[in-house]
Structure 1
């Protein structure tokens, strides 16, 4: 299992619109092969910052399957214009605290 983490900074005044768009966009990602689950969390100290966590069966399910799909273009159109700057996405594997 792979955990994708993206730290998102949303343009000033756009947080509510972003959250509305994300509710629609999450249906896209939930339909993708290899998707397990996701969480979107808002930062308490800075309400323009979010952490998007997505669990995938494999790295390729995200990097090739999702990002290479026509559905990704819909995801992009719904969400990418909210980001400033564009987020860096990293992938993680469990090493402690979670049963293998």
Structure 2
């Protein structure tokens, strides 16, 4: 795979942007989460099932979104190291960047 760096520090700045966007995303989730669950419309079976279904959906959606935000937070600080590895490998004529092991998902 070919990836050209136009500016030194490009991947590092992407990491900074990633961290900022993630903070914004988490802030929006805090505002929208309560509104994503409808209030119980009535005491009939259909109303209860609709509320339960939407609640279950909202819990699943926000669980996955929070997990995604955590991965973004974990990834952002790793990008400067990846950039250094790539840049040094590229400047010495290396054909690839060594595998970068991190604690993603731990």
- TM-score of the superposition, structure 2-length normalised? 0.27
- Higher gyration radius (CA): 2
Higher relative contact order (CA 8 A, sep 6+): 1
Greater share of residues in strand: 1
Greater share of residues in helix: 2
